[in-house]
């Protein structure tokens, strides 16, 4: 009975029945697995990710994280299990200093002051951003912002990481550093991305989404080499 997996079961989401964003998504992640989620813009990647931590509620279907079915009563617990890294780091870093931002999650978890301090230091160290702790997010470069955004999530001690476009808008060097960083993580991870090269490097398994459904699911190499599939899904 491991906590380290996510199950999306027959997820439907949309404002009207005939115009659904998600049309019956089934996806399961095993313990320790790193999965890339690829697909054209509007395929429903971000929408699916938002379902994992209950920021969106499916019109039909259910989400299970570990043994827990996502519901109003369990959402707080699930948000501690899953760390969500948003696409735009500026939206994630809203506090005046890096340090306070990283402490935001642990403080909301009502940990003791020493524990918070410990988590801030260790999670910043984990992304190699300890020297930035007194800085303000405004002063950081794109790559630094991204790493700090990941630290804010690590500070909550999640066992699963869900990331939306982590390598978007990074310069080549910052991107390489990010990939190296993510490679070291042992977390179960679900990464939505357009960066196929990164998917190849990081994730043994790739899931392709197309028009609100899963179009393909399998080993990354096989999927990325399937030209017909890639074309059909706008990749």
Partner 1 sequence: MSEQLHRMLARLANFESGAIGNQNDTRKQAPRIDLRARAIVSLIYLIIMLSVPINRLSELLIFAAFPIITAAQTGVRYGCIARQSLIALPFVAVIGVFNIFYNREPIFAIGGVIIAVGWIEFFSIIVRAMLSVQALLLLVRAEGYNALCRALRRLGLPSVFTTQLLMLYRYTSLLLEQLLSLVRARQARSFGRRALPVRDWGAVIGELTVRTVDRSERISQAMWARGFRGRMPDEQQVQRWQWRDTIYLTAWCLVLSVIRFTHPVERIVTLFNKL
Partner 2 sequence: MHMSDALISPSVFAATSAIAIALVGIATRQVSRTTRKRSIDTPIEEVREQRIVPLMGVMGALIFAAQMLNFAIPATGSSGHIVGGILLAAILGPWAGFLTLTSVIVVQCLLFADGGLMALGCNVVNMAALSCLVAYPLVFKPLVHHSSSALRWGAASIAASITALTMGALAVTIETEMSGITALPYSRFILFMLPIHLLIGLGEGLATAAVIAALRRYRPDLLHDAEYSEPKRRSFIFAAIIALALIGGTIAGSIASTDPDGLEWSIERTTEGKELAQHQSTMHQGAAETQQTIALLPDYNTTLSGIIGIGATLAVIYSLSLLLRRQ
Residues that bind partner 1 (CB under 8 A): 50, 53, 55, 76, 79-80, 84, 86, 88, 90-92, 94-97, 100, 103-105, 107-109, 113, 116-117, 136-139, 152-153, 156
- 3-class secondary-structure state, position 62: strand
Of 50-58, 132-140, 159-167, 200-208, the window that binds partner 2 (rule: CB under 8 A) is 50-58
Q: Which residue has the tokens 């991870």?
A: 189
- The residue (of 91 and 231) whose beta carbon lies closer to partner 2 is 91
Question: Is 96 near partner 2 (CB under 8 A)?
Answer: no
- The residue (of 136 and 213) whose beta carbon lies closer to partner 1 is 136
- The answer to whether 191 and 163 have CB atoms below 8 angstroms apart is yes
Q: For 235, what's the count of Cα atoms within 13 Å in the CB-facing half-sphere? A: 27
Q: How far apart are CA 199 and CA 14, in angstroms?
A: 28
Of 37-45, 66-74, 109-117, 190-198, the window that binds partner 2 (rule: CB under 8 A) is 66-74
The least distance separating partner 2 from the CB of residue 205, rounded to whole angstroms, comes to 29
* Helix pair angle (113-126, 142-154), 10° resolution: 140
- Alpha-carbon separation of residue 195 from 38, 47, 80, 220 (angstroms): 8, 18, 27, 13
Cβ neighbours for 59, distance < 8 A, ≥ 6 positions apart: 12, 13, 14, 20
Question: Is 94 near partner 2 (CB under 8 A)?
Answer: yes
Question: Is 55 near partner 2 (CB under 8 A)?
Answer: yes
Among 1, 73, 138, 228, binds partner 2 (CB under 8 A): 73
Picked from partner 2, partner 1, none, the partner binding residue 100 (CB below 5 to 8 A depending on kind) is partner 1
């Amino acid at each position: 009975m491991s906590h380290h997996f996510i199950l999306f079961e027959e997820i439907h989401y949309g404002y009207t029945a005939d115009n659904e964003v998600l049309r019956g998504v089934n996806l399961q992640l095993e313990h320790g697995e790193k999965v890339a989620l690829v697909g054209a813009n509007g395929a429903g990647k971000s929408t699916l990710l938002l379902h994992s931590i209950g920021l969106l509620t499916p019109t039909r279907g259910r989400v299970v994280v570990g043994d827990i079915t996502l519901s109003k009563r369990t959402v707080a617990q699930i948000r501690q299990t899953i760390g969500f890294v948003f696409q735009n780091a500026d939206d994630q870093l809203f506090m005046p200093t890096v340090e306070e931002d990283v402490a935001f999650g642990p403080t909301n978890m009502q940990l003791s002051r020493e524990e918070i301090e410990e988590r801030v230091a260790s999670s910043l160290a984990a992304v190699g951003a300890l020297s930035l702790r007194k800085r303000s997010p405004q002063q950081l470069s794109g790559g630094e912002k991204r790493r700090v955004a990941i630290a804010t999530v690590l500070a909550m001690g999640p066992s699963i990481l869900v990331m939306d476009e982590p390598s978007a808008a990074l310069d080549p060097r910052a991107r390489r550093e990010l990939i190296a960083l993510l490679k070291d993580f042992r977390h179960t991870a679900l990464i939505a991305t357009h960066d196929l090269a990164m998917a190849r490097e990081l994730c043994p398994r790739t899931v392709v989404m197309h028009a609100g459904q899963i179009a393909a699911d399998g080993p990354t190499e096989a999927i990325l080499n399937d030209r017909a599939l890639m074309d059909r899904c706008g990749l």
